[in-house]
Amino acid sequence: MEDAVARLRLARTEGVGPVAYRRLMARFGAAEAAQEALPGLARAGGRSAAPRVPAAGDVRREIDQVAGLGGRLIFLHDAGYPPLLAQLDDAPSVLAVLGDAALLLGRAVAVVGSRNASANGQRIAEGLAAELAAAGLVVVSGLARGIDAAAHRGALRTGVTVACVAGGPDIAYPPEHRALQAQIAEGGAVVSEHAPGVQPQARHFPRRNRVIAGLSLGVVVVEAAPRSGSLITARLAGEAGREVFAVPGSPLDPRSRGANGLIRDGAHLTETAQDVLGVLAQDGLRLRGRLGLSETQEAAQLPIEMPAGEHAQVVQAVLALLGPAPTAVDDLIRRCQFSGPAVLSVLLDLEIAGRIETLAGNRVALLGGE
């Protein structure tokens, strides 16, 4: 229990996002040691005040709240943490799971799409999900209106489904899906990286999308407008080496432009569940780098301490390369004359100090007009 309290305190500490949590644990080995180091890291990043760490009593209440909902917390590096999701550089530091947490360890495929879905689109999504679930796959989606809800309902008919939500695990969004969310928690699983009671915010949805992509062997898009959240999920899936599938639609329907565009860009044209099952059968668990560590994860395993003069030089070089637009960390390392571990050590200090933000897809951006 005390280890869970320490890890949750670290995960909920101001300035400690998923990437910082991973790096802190890799560097210091234990949550309590990482907490003790936070004031020094913040000073190294240019901040005088130490980050706010939640009280032990507050995180114990969160643990009790999740348990009261019939759920459990799973931390990164726990045996029950989804192995595919763990391959993301920004994998959630902790998941609240209501329902059958073992489903997160199974073979899964995501079915996502437009909230403003056509009747045909919803019928296709429901049928695909039902067939995929009947074939033994866990169907993952985001519990949104339209395609997501249709996918969950189809999967529940023949098998199991996992809903990834953008707020706390007890918050139904949209509200009319409260009964559906309860049904999924009863027969499948509801997953959140937030504490109970947290209301969904706009910035939560892209992070929710990367959980959907991270849990899945592949993502099927059924209707999606350009620049939609479903395309973000597909992009994140592709970046993680997962398969991307898209159901073609009429060129006259703007809801089909996103899916049609994915097909033009190389996504698997999908008309039936067999199109998905056939690709996954060939791909198996060879997930194009999914089971190996990325360049940044390998570097993050190496604790590093630098003399003050060298640290200042790395800080200056990193800040000169960053701006308000997101930059991929791997690209930053390649363009910086310092080593990967040195750059990651400085990024950790800057994030703890609140000078940079780490975004989905292992990208970073400056905050506050640097």
Question: pLDDT digit string (tens) for 166-201?
Answer: 999 999 999 999 999 999 999 999 999 999 999 999
Three-state DSSP class for residue 319: helix
**pLDDT above 90 coverage of the chain, percent:** 75
Give per-residue burial for 193-202: e unless 16+ CB within 10 Å, then b. bbbbebebee
Q: Are 20 and 358 in contact (CB under 8 A)?
A: yes
Q: Rounded to whole angstroms, how far apart are CA atoms 329 and 295?
A: 9
Residue-level pLDDT at 301: 46
Residue-level pLDDT at 306: 76
Flag whether pLDDT at 143 surpasses 90. yes
Q: Rounded to the nearest 10 degrees, how much is the dihedral formed by the CA atoms of 151, 109, 215, 238?
A: -110
> Cis ω on the peptide bond leading into residue 174 (within 30° of 0)?
yes
Three-state DSSP class for residue 91: coil
Three-state DSSP class for residue 47: coil
Flag whether pLDDT at 293 surpasses 60. no
Flag whether pLDDT at 117 surpasses 50. yes
How many residues appear in the chain? 370
Q: Are 358 and 323 in contact (CB under 8 A)?
A: no
Residue-level pLDDT at 277: 95
The stretch 245-260 carries a mean pLDDT of 93
Tokens found for residue 27: 């560097």
**CA 226-228-229 angle, 5° bins:** 155
Residue-level pLDDT at 369: 53
Mean pLDDT of the chain: 91
Which neighbouring-strand residues pair with 245?
220, 268
Q: Rounded to whole angstroms, how far apart are CA atoms 6 and 11?
A: 9
Q: Rounded to the nearest 10 degrees, how much is the dihedral formed by the CA atoms of 232, 233, 237, 243?
A: -110
Residue-level pLDDT at 303: 47
Report phi then psi at 49, rounded to 5: -85, 145
Q: How many CB atoms lie within 10 A of CB 140?
A: 33
Q: How many CB atoms lie within 10 A of CB 123?
A: 14
Tokens found for residue 309: 């003069």
Residue-level pLDDT at 304: 63
Write the DSSP assignment of 246-301 as a string of letters: EE---TT-GGGHHHHHHHHTTPEE-SSHHHHHHHHHHHTT--TTTTS--HHHHHHT
Which neighbouring-strand residues pair with 66?
none
For CA atoms 79, 83, 86, 91, the dihedral sign is negative
Residue-level pLDDT at 345: 87
Tokens found for residue 368: 């506050």
Question: In the structure, what pLDDT confidence band is assigned to residue 285 with cuts at 50, 70 and 90?
Answer: very low
- Cα 268–chain centre separation: 23
Q: Which range, 42-51, 305-314, 325-334, has the best average confidence (pLDDT)?
A: 325-334
Three-state DSSP class for residue 104: helix
Question: In the structure, what pLDDT confidence band is assigned to residue 283 with cuts at 50, 70 and 90?
Answer: low
For the chain, domains (ranges, CATH) are 2-72 (no CATH), 98-283 (3.40.50.450), 295-366 (1.10.10.10)
Which one-letter DSSP state was computed for residue 103? Answer: G
The stretch 124-141 carries a mean pLDDT of 98
Flag whether pLDDT at 254 surpasses 50. yes
The stretch 340-349 carries a mean pLDDT of 88
Residue-level pLDDT at 296: 52
Among 72, 132, 77, residue whose Cα is nearest residue 102: 72
Residue-level pLDDT at 2: 86
